[in-house]
Amino acid sequence: MDPVMPEPSAELGVSAPLIEPGHSYASVTDKISAIVLTRRTPRWWMLGFAAAFCLMMLLFFAVAYLFAVGVGIWGINIPVGWGFAIVNFVWWIGIGHAGTLISAILLLLRQQWRTSINRFAEAMTLFAVSCAGLFPVLHMGRPWLAYWLFPYPNTMGMWPQFRSPLVWDVFAVSTYATVSLLFWFVGLIPDLATLRDRSRNRVGKIMYGILAMGWRGSAVHWSRYETASLLLAGLATPLVVSVHTVVSFDFAVAIIPGWHTTIFPPYFVAGAIYSGFAMVMTLAIPIRAIYKLEDFITLRHLDNMAKIILATGLIVGYGYMMETFGAFYSADQYEKFMILNRMTGPYAPFYWALIACNIVMPQLLWFPAVRRSVVGLFVISLVVNVGMWLERFVIVVTSLHRDFLPSSWGMYYPTRWDWATYVGSIGLFLTLLLLFLRYLPMISIFEMRQLVSQTSGKTESRVSGNLDDV
Amino acid sequence: MARLGMVIDLKRCIGCNACTLACKQENGTPEGISFSRVITEEVGTYPNSTRTFLPTLCNHCSDAPCAAVCPTGATYIRPDGIVMVDHNMCIGCRACNLACPYMNRHYIEHGLLEHGYNSEGISPMEAIKFADFDEGTNIKCTLCAHRVDQGLEPACVVTCPTDARIFGDWEEEDGKLQRLVKERKGWTLLPEYETKPNVYYLDA
């Protein structure tokens, strides 16, 4: 079998290899570190970075104008006081969840298939959380006072009001960002040492050397590493559940029809994992094709992720059904109106589009042939990303635009500044991602080496390297 | 402990909007913001049609959702039950705008304080009143706390030509508010949301 191009018809499931046969410790290290250590920056990377950087500049421009003129440049109004900013916040936070789930929960569950996708999924988490963290600050009337949400001794008499779900959000998101960053960095240390040792230029040696924090790979180092990584996994695991639960409280704790729903916490968590895995898939498919990483990110990985997308998608579908059922079962006239308005009101096309994207389309993943089709998976993952953004739009906007009094009804139309900020945040995300791909190992080298033994007996090593090489 | 509030007698209200104007004048709110409004609705079919009036203001809820959701504690409830906003502490997140089911929270957009009500410039009175507001923050009806503290009644109450607005203390045993609500079966807006409003209405 050609290790570079796996057979599309290769058997999926637990018996399928997590790393294509024919790799040795050295070949794994060579292949992953070469992506970072190569002197020539690929042309596609330069073009992609230029495009992403331009979009990021668009974000900065939009934010500068926002700070100068205020949130009136957005389409928000009364009654729709929260618009794209909060939609984007929830969407980005949700995307981040897959990284933590893959790196923490799958680590604790000893799921080896996480190995080749955990590193860039964690990076995706960090970048998504960075984008998410921007929006609550941007949507404030006085964003320069955002630090007042942190409890610190001061002479102004300021102290957060802990009954507010917005304060819970601050703690949930900042804890999540901190633990994710620590987890990601600790996981990188052995690989940074590899890059330090392999780097041929002085700057690289110094930079990777500093970041590797004196890693020598001794037994003591590995023992401490394993302990730290397990502890951080244990810390991160409840965060997978808590962060989006708390984000859902922003809505569920309010008494607004369409928001005041007990199913929100589990439904938001499932939705977050759903959208997160869709984003991992959206990124993994082109990355594995461009960097020829089909050996490491195999069809089994894509198949497993597709199954998780299908399962969490079904939970999200159940959430939609229970939301509708609850509205009628509650016999609350406002709840009933709200759900009917979602289905038939001015934003109905968005509601039905999200049903099509999030419930109908992913059902194709029941078919093994679809789960084996890389193009099919890519399209479905894109559709789910769009669907989950629409879900947040529908939750935020349709619940607000109809008030209890018809005289207070309104509509929300995003302005060009809303779009510029949203598209710009995608630019920020892609800029950070491309920098990560270029300067850090996107796949965990040392963890992939552990998988070599799984397939080493099956075929001969295809490179001359042996254990002594590493 | 006092719990200040109001009873609005819809039988007495003639929809003249004097309360709207008195509030506007007393508090000097920027364009588009009225703490006190009269919601007017036409009901029935001609010739058997009529108009109903519903004067509104902040309900100064005992379990105010706007105060619960405020992340900095800028919105707070005074010991006498008045729900207030300390605009210096407000960061403008607008969570209170959304939390209030009565639409009685108001956000001051940037630029709103740069022009007067129906004029490009700012009148001397507006210059004085606008000094109490900050762009990018929330404001709301204070039940004319500045007047109440001096022993006066809110502006909307003293100006009402038909005495449709009755101001008082709910904690007063057999006071005028309690008596009116008991006698005429007073009701509150959206009682099912359990915000415990301190503004009651009497049927027309």
Q: Considering only CB atoms, which chain A residues are within 8 Å of B42? A: none
Question: What mean pLDDT is predicted for residues A297-319?
Answer: 94
Task: For residue A159, give the chain B residue with the closest CA.
Answer: B72
- Looking at residue A38, its pLDDT comes to 83
pLDDT score of A456 more than 70 = no
A348-355 and A374-393 helices cross at what angle (nearest 10)? 140
Q: How far apart are CA A211 and CA A339, in angstroms?
A: 52
Chosen from B94, B100, B138 to mutate, greatest number of chain A CBs within 10 A? B94
* Contact assignment for A148 to B193 by CB distance below 8 Å: no
Q: Which of A139, A140, A155, A247 to mutate to test the interface with B (most CBs of B within 10 A)?
A: A140
Provide φ and ψ at A85, rounded to 5°.
-60, -45
* Collapsed DSSP state (helix, strand, coil) of residue A79: coil
Strand-pair category, B199-202 with B4-9: parallel
Pairing of strands B75-77, B138-140: unpaired
Minimum CA–CA partner of B33 in chain A: A78
Q: Which residue has the tokens 């190992």?
A: A441
Give the count of beta carbons closer than 10 Å to the beta carbon of residue B192. Answer: 10
Q: Is A405 on the interface with B (CB under 8 A)?
A: yes
Residue in A304, A368, A278, A293 with CA at minimum distance from that of residue A14: A304
Contacts with A146 from chain B: Cβ below 8 Å: 91
Proportion of chain A above pLDDT 90, given as a percent: 74
The span from the CA of B126 to the CA of B115, in Å, is 9
Q: Running DSSP on this structure, what letter comes out for residue A158?
A: -
pLDDT band at A12 (very low <50, low <70, confident <90, very high): low
Does B47 sit behind a cis peptide bond, omega within 30 degrees of 0 on the bond before it? yes
pLDDT band at A198 (very low <50, low <70, confident <90, very high): very high
> Tokens 């089709």 correspond to what residue?
A373
Average pLDDT over chain A reads 90
- pTM: predicted TM-score of the whole model, two decimal places: 0.92
Q: Judge whether A408 and B103 are in contact, CB under 8 Å.
A: yes
Q: B94: nearest CA in chain A?
A: A81
Size of interface A-B (CB pairs under 8 A): 110
Residue A454 has pLDDT above 90, yes or no: no
Helix count and strand count (H, E) for chain B:
7, 9
CA angle A193, A197, A202 (to 5 degrees): 110
CB atoms within 10 A of CB A127: 23
Tell the residue number behind the tokens 């198949």, with chain if given: A303
Residues 6 or more apart in contact with residue B89 via CB below 8 angstroms: A148, A158, B72, B73, B74
Structure tokens of A155? 């002479």
Task: Give the H or E element holding residue A232.
Answer: helix A219-252
Q: Which domains does chain A have, with CATH numbers?
A: 37-454 (1.20.1630.10)
At A172, the pLDDT band (50, 70, 90 cuts) reads very high
Cα angle A141-A147-A153, degrees, rounded to a multiple of 5: 135
Share of chain B above pLDDT 90, in %: 88
The residues on B that touch A, with CB distances below 8 Å, are 39, 65, 68-73, 89-95, 97-99, 101-103, 106-111, 134-138, 190, 192-193, 195
Chain B residue with minimum CA distance to A142 = B91
pLDDT at A97 over 70: yes
| Cα–Cα dist A436/A283, whole Å | 13
Cα–chain-centroid distance for residue A273? 8
How far is it, in rounded angstroms, from Cα A380 to Cα A303?
13
Q: 3-class DSSP state for residue B55?
A: strand
Residue B75: closest C-alpha in chain A: A161
- Helices first, then strands: H and E counts in chain A: 17, 0
ipTM of the shown complex: 0.91
Q: What band does A112 get if pLDDT is binned at 50, 70 and 90?
A: confident
d(CA B63, CA A258): 21
Q: Please, are residues A127 and A429 in contact by the beta-carbon 8 Å criterion?
A: yes
C-alpha to C-alpha distance for A315 and A358, rounded to whole angstroms? 11
Q: Which of A78, A142, A254 lies nearest to residue B99, judging by beta carbons?
A: A254
Which of A299, A243, A324, A233 has the alpha carbon at shortest distance from A276?
A: A243
Strand B105-107 and strand B138-140: pairing?
antiparallel
- Do residues A239 and A247 make contact, with C-beta atoms less than 8 angstroms apart? no
Per the CB < 8 Å rule, is A164 touching B195? no
User: Residue A141 and residue B39: Cβ atoms within 8 Å?
Assistant: no
The conformation of residue B46, written as its DSSP 8-state character, comes to T
Mean pLDDT over residues B92-106, rounded?
94
> Mean pLDDT over residues B151-161, rounded?
97
Is the pLDDT score of A7 beyond 80? no
Per-residue confidence (pLDDT) for residue A220, from 0 to 100: 96
